[in-house]
Amino acid sequence: MILELQRATHATLQVLSARLVDLDLTPSELNALGNLADGTGRTVSELGAAVGSRPTTLTGVLDRLERRGLITRGARPGDRRAVLITLTDDGVATAAVITRAIADLEAETLAGLPASAVEGALAVLRALTR
Amino acid sequence: MILELQRATHATLQVLSARLVDLDLTPSELNALGNLADGTGRTVSELGAAVGSRPTTLTGVLDRLERRGLITRGARPGDRRAVLITLTDDGVATAAVITRAIADLEAETLAGLPASAVEGALAVLRALTR
DNA sequence: TATTGTTATACTCTATAACTATA
DNA sequence: TATAGTTATAGAGTATAACAATA
């Protein structure tokens, strides 16, 4: 099961990055934008927890995204230590492309499977996440 | 689903690497040894296909594993261009520890789930791998 | 004193291209 | 000519520790 999990994740990432190659973003950059896609701002720590990276790693990722005009770094009201990451208009558009690609791939691969299999898979994935 | 998949993979790798920290191996090194665990020799290309790495990446990984006495590089009969990767006795023992840790984690997390959920999960993972 | 984010450092992973030795 | 593996190079991800600003 765990080996299949790794394989499936790897294959999925391969397909996604191939479909999104025109965006010219690294996997970490795609991951960060995808997590910000709902339009809600997040601090560096919150984003790090969501994408599974340390603040020290995110600094470089966010530097590149900021340089390309996809995000902005602002202050969080109430705590001037925290940095609030927000998508720019360009960032929102790019994040939408990523979200759409994920939804499309998911719909394609799950199309032929019974609902019970999908439910079972979600149960297993959540058990593994704990 | 795909987001859950990424999360589950990430969480699983975190737990495994924490449990195997005493081995002092990087994720790629663990992956390579785990794939060689059945004791069958593989060429660099075959191993690369199995673990999802390029030969150019594996060279460095294999260098370190060889330096630590866990694998040997030999010639493949019939084609002297190919390099056959084989586990040493130490490598076999280390690979067994990795295999055991994976089996244990899998047994623990799937223990409370109905067989139908596990079957459904396998079906979904295989659909995603295609 | 503790926390947030950044910087510094060192190592690992990845991708591309060039190289060698074999085929 | 083509293939298997290595080397060279540069960019990107990771971990640890140290640091400045703020709490």
pLDDT tens by residue, B88-112: 999 999 999 999 999 999 999 999 8
Which chain A residues are within 8 Å of B130, Cβ to Cβ?
A: 11, 109
Nucleotide nearest to A55 (CA to C1'): C5
Question: What CATH number is attached to the domain comprising B95?
Answer: 1.10.10.10
- Chain A, nearest residue to B34 by Cα: A3
Tell me how close the Cα of B51 comes to any Cα of chain A, in angstroms: 9
Distance from C-alpha of B53 to C-alpha of A54, rounded to nearest angstrom: 24
> What pLDDT score was predicted for residue A63?
97
Distance from C-alpha of B74 to C-alpha of B88, rounded to nearest angstrom: 12
Which chain A residues are within 8 Å of B121, Cβ to Cβ?
A: 1, 117, 120-121, 123-125
> What pLDDT score was predicted for residue B96?
97
Distance from C-alpha of B92 to C-alpha of A31, rounded to nearest angstrom: 36
B56 beta carbon < 7 A from strand D? Answer: yes
Nearest-CA neighbor of B110 among A4, A118, A124, A2? Answer: A124
**Low-confidence winner among A41-55, A100-114, B8-22, B23-37 (lowest mean pLDDT):** B8-22
pLDDT at A94 over 80: yes
Tell me how close the Cα of B31 comes to any Cα of chain A, in angstroms: 10
Instruction: Tell me what percent of the residues of chain A surpass a pLDDT of 70.
Output: 100
Smallest CA–C1' distance to C3, residue: A81
- List the domain range (segments joined by +) for residue A23: 2-129
Nearest-CA neighbor of A37 among A106, A98, A101? Answer: A98
B80 beta carbon < 7 A from strand C? Answer: yes
Taking a C-beta distance cutoff of 8 angstroms, is the pair A66, A7 a contact?
A: no
A54 beta carbon < 7 A from strand D? Answer: yes
> What pLDDT score was predicted for residue B7?
85
Question: Residue A83 CA to C7 C1' — how many Å?
Answer: 16
Taking a C-beta distance cutoff of 8 angstroms, is the pair B1, A122 a contact?
A: yes
Distances (CA, A) of A63 to A85, A92, B93: 11, 17, 44
- Residue type (1 letter), B94: T
Q: Give the other-Cβ count within 10 Å of B110's Cβ.
A: 19
CB-contacted nucleotides of strand C (7 Å): 3-8, 12-17, 21-23
B81 beta carbon < 7 A from strand C? Answer: yes
Give residue A78's pLDDT band: very low, low, confident or very high (50, 70, 90): very high
Distance from C-alpha of B124 to C-alpha of B102, rounded to nearest angstrom: 20
Per-residue burial over B37-57, b = 16 or more CB atoms within 10 Å of its CB, e = otherwise: beeebbbbeebbeebbbeeee
- Residue type (1 letter), B64: R
B128 vs A: CB within 8 A: yes
The structural domain count of chain B equals 1
